[in-house]
A and B are shown apart, each in its own frame.
Chain A
Amino acid sequence: MERHFDAELKELHKEILKMGALAEEAIFKSIEALKNRDKNGAQEVIDTDNRIDELELAIDERCIDLIARYQPMAGDLRFITTGMKINAELERIADLAVDMCQRVLELTDKPLLKPLIDIPKLSNIAQKMVRDSIDSFIKKDVDLAKTIVLSDSQADELRNRVQEELVNDYMARDSSTASRAVPLLLISRHLERICDHATNIAEDVIYMVEAKVVRHHLEELG
């Protein structure tokens, strides 16, 4: 028998998916703005972040309401508490997209320091990890979630490469490049943080489906 509660859970599910789509779109648009040196595009991401903030608050309120009114147990309880955590991760991802756009605004009036090669690669990884983490949540796909957790090191390596290049090849040789190199360095850092948040979502999904805590215990991944 379908419970009234199930209809409420479906609504929560829908809202989290919407939050995921908005966060993913924010990353995509911020990298497009960087690649195209598009001030308006960057400003748009900054200006529309309040939609994501409002949705975050609405999802939190819905989760608290569901816990208070239905006293969920077992899988239902894990779904709602995981939903709350994923909600916070997605909001942070969207904030990082805003941070990237602020860096883009600092760069658009200056000549490009160097062609963008590794940052778009890192961005592709970040977008894929976010998309896959949301997919793993939708499909309750633990295997996909595990792949995400294990792929985070790729993002770390790429960020290190970008940083080394910017520091050693540019800033150390010519300190006047710093005003153009630092924003790129920060963007690589923001993208890597986005990957960390996607990893957190994947770890939450594993907990939701299997009730297994892999956060801080990678050996549990099996």
Chain B
Amino acid sequence: MVITTKNLNLWYGAFHALKNINSGIEANRITAIIGPSGCGKSTLLRVFNRMNDLIEGVRIDGEVLINDINILDSRTDLVGLRKKVGMVFQRPNPFPLSVYENIVFGPKVHNLANKYELDEIVEHGLRSVLLWDELKDKLKKPALGLSLEQKQRLCIARLIAVKSDILLMDEPCSTLDPQATQRIEELMRELKNNYTIIIVTHNMQQAARVSDEAGFMLLGELIEFGQTQQIFTTPKDKRTEDYITGRYG
């Protein structure tokens, strides 16, 4: 297991947002977390790179082991953690810089490369997200001028540039049209050979199509976790069945 959560609880002030979550996420797999709005799926995702620390009044207990190290430990190097566990957001958020500068920004901050190596990092990053052929002659162009899909791919390339191992994706396709969504899904399948991907999505069909394992959350609890095929054909819990068949609520 790359990520294991043990008795994980999280409160926003008095609100109990994650209730005793126990799960194991395997390497080089795509794991989807599904559930209705407010069920805690994005909160769980943000625990994995301690993004919730930025929210006032958050309290967490339990353990989250990434490669056997408890990242909830107060001595955790957060910069190192967020480099290793990168996040792609709902709305692509490139920096207002050139395509090239977007990708080398991380490696420069982390002193990962000398300036000769940066060109290679840019090419590798863009090739990994299948953008190289489209953008190799436009590296100096502003990233904000790209299409939404290209921006989202660029954001994934930024994580590749800082050598993230785990990619957290929070509704990565919700602003994209069906064709661009399909292409990002194909990209995810390519990337899982080298990365562990966890995706949070409202789009159940997407979770069914793209993931190897899936977890269903409801009111802060992880109701069921298992192979995607099993979750979507023979869910064990009636609440999971009600949700995936549209009977929930």
A73 to chain B: closest CB distance in Å? 11
B127 in contact (CB, < 8 A): no
User: A33-81: which residues lie under 8 A (CB-CB) from chain B?
Assistant: 64-65, 68-71
**A172 smallest CB distance to B (angstroms):** 56
B233: A residues at CB distance < 8 A? 64-65, 68
Q: Is the CB of B228 within 8 A of A69?
A: yes
Q: Does A139 contact B (CB under 8 A)?
A: no
Q: How far is the CA of A65 from the CA of B211 in the complex (A)?
A: 13
In the complex, the chain A residue whose C-beta lies closest to that of B183 is A1
Which A residue's beta carbon lies closest to that of B204?
Answer: A71
Q: Which residues of chain A have C-beta atoms less than 8 A from B232's C-beta?
A: 68-69
Question: Are B205 and A71 interface neighbours, CB within 8 A?
Answer: yes
State the CA gap A129–B205 with chains docked (Å). 40
Question: With A and B bound together, what is the CA distance between A140 and B219 in angstroms?
Answer: 49
Q: Are the CB atoms of A68 and B186 closer together than 8 Å?
A: no
Q: Which residue of A lies closest to B207 (CB)?
A: A69
B141 interface contact, C-beta 8 A: no
Q: Which residues of B contact A65 (CB under 8 A)?
A: 229, 233
Taking the nearest CB of chain B, how far is it from the CB of A62, in angstroms?
A: 10
Q: How far is the CA of A64 from the CA of B186 in the complex (A)?
A: 22
Cα of A152 to Cα of B35 in the assembled complex, Å: 53
Q: Which residues of A contact B239 (CB under 8 A)?
A: none
Closest CB of chain A to B115's CB: distance in Å? 36
In contact, B185 and A4 (Cβ under 8 angstroms): yes
Complex contact A3–B186 (CB within 8 A): yes
Whether the Cβ atoms of B229 and A68 lie closer than 8 Å is yes
B136 within 8 A of A: no
Contact with A along B90-127 (1 / 0, CB 8 A): 00000000000000000000000000000000000000
Contact with B along A4-39 (1 / 0, CB 8 A): 110000000000000000000000000000000000
Q: How many residues of A contact B (CB 8 A)?
A: 10
Q: How far is the CA of A65 from the CA of B229 in the complex (A)?
A: 6
User: In the complex, A71 Cα to B244 Cα: how many Å?
Assistant: 13
Q: Could you tell me the distance between the alpha carbons of A1 and B183 in the complex, rounded to whole angstroms? A: 9
Q: Which residues of chain A are near B183, meaning CB under 8 Å?
A: 1
- CA–CA, A69 to B229, complex, Å? 7
For residue B209, CB closer than 8 A to chain A, the reply is yes
Whether B182 and A68, one on each chain, are in contact in the complex, defined by CB atoms closer than 8 angstroms, is no
Closest B residue to A7 by CB, please name it: B189
Tell me which of A5, A65, A68 has the highest count of chain B C-beta atoms within 10 A of its own C-beta. A68
Partner among A1, A64, A69 whose Cβ is within 8 Å of the Cβ of B208: A69
Assembly CA distance A69 to B205 (angstroms) = 7
Q: Mark B202-246, 1 if CB is under 8 A from A, else 0.
A: 000100110000000000000000001100110000000000000
Shortest CB–CB separation between residue A128 and chain B, in angstroms? 38
Bound complex: CA of A65 vs CA of B189, how far in Å?
18
| Min distance, Cβ A101 to any Cβ of chain B, angstroms | 35
Chain B residues near A70 (CB, 8 Å)?
208-209
A-B contact pairs, 26 of them (CB 8 A): A1-B182, A1-B183, A1-B186, A3-B182, A3-B186, A4-B185, A4-B186, A4-B189, A4-B209, A5-B209, A64-B233, A65-B229, A65-B233, A68-B208, A68-B229, A68-B232, A68-B233, A69-B208, A69-B209, A69-B228, A69-B229, A69-B232, A70-B208, A70-B209, A71-B205, A71-B208
Task: Report the 7 A-B pairs with minimum CB-CB distance, sorted nearest first.
Answer: A68-B232, A69-B208, A68-B233, A65-B229, A71-B205, A4-B189, A64-B233
Starting from the known contacts A1-B183, A64-B233, A68-B208, 4 additional A-B residue pairs (CB-CB under 8 Å) come to A4-B185, A4-B189, A5-B209, A68-B233
